[in-house]
């Protein structure tokens, strides 16, 4: 067993691809094999002829180990991961926490303190760059290593790009939009503007200026294959508020062969909505194509109203 500090990377086997990218980043910072343990990497796994359970127990009982928790839904579904978490709690050791894509701080439970500073790997890119740099500085201090600033930026940005490539998340381009008054040639009852500075859409519905029964704000997605996202039970997420009054609004998706919809209640304050794709319904085969995301307003629900929408994504 090594006498100096080293990292124990606690993660679920299902997350091994992202964790391997993370290990490569640690190597780039200057860590060696003797500085790390990672069960999904053959170069950092239990040595040959060692008893696996005895080796892991001794590792987690050692004062030289600094755990790195790579948290995800997969992590909390793994008995082995929860045992590792409990072992660290028993020792009251300090640790690093990373939240893998699609895992939120409010989902943290068990022995890990959700109030401790952690790094969310799918946060804003500029924020992530800064937090990874702070992590790098701490690792360099602990292990007395260093990396050239230019090389660090290259390695860090490469790691972030790998995260994005590995992700099945889809971010909707808000600039690809249009307002419609269903059944009318002119669309005076649905005026839409794009606030580029704040990256949000402002849609003003006014049924005094149209005879249509339905007005629609449409975001065009092209023909995106959503089959995997549907099977993974991804969610359509967005932030929305109504300026004057709350009312019922219909979110509709145009798929390959049909439209599917889900009703929400708006609020005069910003609300974050998260709707499971499977809650929209539709046959699995229909999700091979998503063409549009629509926000429909009905005459019998409002007379005049303005809504604001931002951060539309499928995660």
Active-site residue numbers? 84
Q: Which two tokens stand for residue 136?
A: 């790098």
Q: Is the distance from CB of 235 to CB of 274 less than 8 angstroms?
A: yes
Q: In the chain, helix, strand, coil percent, each to 5?
A: 35, 30, 35
Beta-carbon count within 10 A of 158 CB: 14
3-state secondary structure of 62: coil
Supply the DSSP symbol for 46: P
d(CA 280, CA 261): 6
Inter-residue long-range contacts of 30-34, CB under 8 Å, 24+ positions, other chains counted: 30/140, 30/143, 30/145, 30/146, 30/147, 31/7, 31/139, 31/143, 31/145, 34/2, 34/4, 34/6
Who's near 194: CB < 8 A, 6+ residues apart? Answer: 174, 175, 177, 200, 201, 202
Q: Is the distance from CB of 310 to CB of 198 less than 8 angstroms?
A: yes
Nearest to 241 by CA among 275, 219, 267: 267
Nearest to 91 by CA among 55, 51, 64: 64
The burial class, CB within 10 Å (0-12 / 13-18 / 19+), for 139 is buried
3-state secondary structure of 272: strand
Polymer length of the chain: 315
């Amino acid at each position: 067993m090594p006498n100096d500090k080293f990292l124990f990377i606690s993660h679920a086997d299902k997350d091994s691809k992202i964790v391997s990218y993370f290990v490569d980043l640690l190597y780039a910072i200057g860590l060696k094999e003797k500085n790390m343990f990672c069960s999904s990497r053959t170069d950092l796994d239990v040595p040959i002829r060692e008893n696996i359970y005895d080796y892991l127990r001794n590792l987690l009982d050692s004062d030289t180990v600094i755990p790195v928790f790579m948290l995800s839904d997969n992590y909390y579904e793994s008995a082995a991961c929860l045992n590792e978490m409990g072992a660290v709690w028993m020792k009251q050791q300090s640790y690093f926490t990373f939240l893998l894509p699609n895992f939120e701080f409010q989902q943290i439970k068990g022995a890990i303190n959700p109030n401790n500073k952690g790094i969310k790997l799918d946060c804003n890119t500029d924020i992530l760059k800064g937090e990874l740099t702070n992590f790098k500085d701490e690792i360099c201090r602990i292990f007395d290593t260093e990396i050239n600033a230019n090389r660090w930026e290259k390695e860090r940005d490469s790691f972030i790009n790998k995260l994005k490539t590995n992700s099945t998340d889809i971010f909707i381009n808000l600039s690809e939009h249009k307002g419609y008054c269903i059944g009318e040639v002119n669309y005076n009852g649905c005026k839409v503007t794009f606030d580029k500075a704040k990256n949000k859409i402002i849609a003003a519905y006014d049924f005094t200026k149209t005879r249509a029964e339905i007005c629609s704000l449409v975001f065009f997605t092209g023909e995106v294959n959503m089959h995997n996202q549907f099977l993974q039970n991804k969610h359509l997420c967005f932030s929305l508020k109504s300026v004057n009054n709350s009312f019922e609004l219909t979110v509709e998706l145009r798929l390959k062969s049909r439209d599917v919809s889900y009703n929400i209640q708006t609020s005069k304050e910003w609300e974050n909505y998260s709707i499971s794709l499977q809650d929209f319904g539709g046959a699995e085969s229909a999700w091979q194509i998503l063409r549009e995301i629509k926000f429909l307003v009905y005459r019998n629900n409002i007379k005049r109203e303005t809504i604001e929408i931002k951060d539309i994504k499928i995660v």
